[in-house]
Chain A
Amino acid sequence: MIKKILIVDDSPIARKILKKCIPQDRGYEFHEAGNGLEGLEKFKTETPDVTFMDLTMPVMDGIQALEEIKKCDDDAVVIVATADVQVKTIFRVMNLGALMVLKKPVTKETVEDALLKARVSLEDIRR
């Protein structure tokens, strides 16, 4: 079951769009971070069930943040939401253990699908 969701993106608009694409009737608790380092800190303090991670960010980029999060918790469910859709980027983040990559701009359908996949993954982990 997903309770807490962390959204890491330097763009307040991208965070707003992502949040709007997440069903609001499921009682999720949202946390937000404006760069990878802030995201990593929020991940440690809030222990979210699912983290949405942008890649191109100041201070610490999403690839490094993903790497650090996976060092803290190998089972962390991280969904990358990015405009950088180069094959090599997708390959890199999947190798680092991202659950999946969402291409920006995200839509309600792609975010809902991602959350469904995240829920299945969490159930597998917790079983």
Chain B
Amino acid sequence: METASNNQITEEEKDILQEVMNISFGKASADLTDVINAYVVLSVPDVTLLKAEKLPDYIRDDIKDYNSISIIEQNFWGKFKGICFLIFPSRSGRKLVAMLGEGDDSFEQSDTMAVLEKETLIEVGNILIGACVGKVAELLSEVVTYSPPRVIFEDSPKKNISKDIFEPESMAIIMKTIFSFEGQDINGFLFLVTSQESFGWLKVALHRFMERYE
């Protein structure tokens, strides 16, 4: 197996990580469909290595078509450490509320609807992020702990996603999955970002994952 320094990953390591992400998001979407009456259409996950300071631009590029968005942000800790962003175009929260069977038309335009929407986004975020990150960690024989999820409603996607998430000069790995709900006009973007601090452990863990099949 080819090797690379601790701030880089090889093509093979990237392929392994992509498959691990594929399995993990598959598990997350199945968990979500247990509680939501929908079918999640998955895309092929993408794994990218880039300088942390370029992370906001990378994410903005994917969501540039939306004027306003909702971001569910959650940190995770352990040897596998990083941050997850689950991003929906705005008003998706309301559609998700309806799909969960919560609320009714009388809540439209009311404060109650805003609360319900936020709670729904947090719940969906908890399920998708928790199941996805948890499965990545499980496949790589590790455990993680999570911060409580945070919802940000953002009118200007250009402003959000701080550059200060990680050391700007350090490298970051972004695992991205785009998904949609069949028959619903909702797209979602899941970005799982891990910092250079985790690279050493991650590389060893990926090789160990493959050794099970040797």
* Residues of A in contact with B (beta carbons under 8 Å apart): 10-14, 16-17, 20-21, 56-58, 82-89, 104-105
Q: A11-B15, A13-B18, A88-B39 are in contact. Are A82 and B44 (CB under 8 A)?
A: no
**How far apart are the CA atoms of A20 and B214 in the complex, in Å?**
7
One digit per residue, 1 when the CB lies within 8 angstroms of any chain A CB and 0 when it does not, for chain B 10-52 equals 0010011011001111110110010000011011100000000
CB distance from B124 to the nearest CB of A (A): 15
Interface size on B, residues (CB 8 A): 23
Are B40 and A104 closer than 8 Å at their CB atoms?
no
Cβ contacts under 8 Å, B26 to chain A: 56, 82-85, 104
CB pair B19 A86 closer than 8 Å: no
Q: Which of B29, B44, B213 contacts A16 (CB 8 A)?
A: B213
Query: A58 to B67, alpha carbons, bound, how many Å?
Result: 28
Chain B residues within an 8 Å CB radius of A87? 30, 33
List, in ascending order, chain B residues with CB within 8 A of A89's CB.
Answer: 39
Interface residue B116 (Cβ < 8 Å from any Cβ of A): no
A13-B12, A13-B16, A84-B42 are known contacts; what are 12 more A-B pairs with Cβ within 8 Å?
Answer: A12-B15, A14-B22, A16-B210, A56-B44, A84-B29, A85-B27, A85-B30, A86-B29, A86-B39, A86-B40, A88-B39, A105-B23
Residues of A within 8 A of B15 (CB): 11-13
Q: Which residues of B contact A21 (CB under 8 A)?
A: 213
Measured between alpha carbons, how far is A9 from B16 in the docked complex, in Å? Answer: 13
The number of inter-chain residue pairs (CB within 8 angstroms) is 59
Residues of chain B with a CB closer than 8 A to A17's CB = 19, 210, 213
Residues of B within 8 A of A58 (CB): 44
- Bitwise interface map of B from 173 to 212 toward A, beta carbon under 8 Å scored 1, else 0: 0000000000000000000000000000000000000100
Given contacts A11-B18, A12-B15, A105-B23, contact A56 B42 (CB under 8 A): yes
Q: Write the residues of chain B forming the contact surface with A, with a CB cutoff of 8 angstroms.
A: 12, 15-16, 18-19, 22-27, 29-30, 33, 39-40, 42-44, 139, 210, 213-214
- Taking a contact as CB atoms under 8 Å apart, the answer to whether B22 and A104 are in contact is yes
A104 contacts B39, C-beta separation under 8 Å: no
- Could you pull out 21 A-B pairs where Cβ atoms are within 8 angstroms? A12-B15, A13-B15, A13-B16, A13-B210, A14-B19, A14-B22, A16-B210, A56-B44, A57-B44, A83-B26, A83-B27, A84-B29, A84-B42, A86-B40, A87-B30, A87-B33, A88-B33, A88-B39, A104-B19, A104-B26, A105-B139
- Nearest-CB distance from A109 to chain B (Å)? 13
Q: Ordered nearest first, which 10 A-B pairs have the shortest CB separation?
A: A83-B26, A20-B213, A83-B23, A13-B15, A13-B19, A11-B19, A85-B30, A88-B39, A84-B26, A104-B23
B136 to A: closest C-beta gap in Å: 12
Q: Please indicate the chain B residues that have their CB under 8 angstroms from the CB of A84 in the complex.
A: 26, 29-30, 42
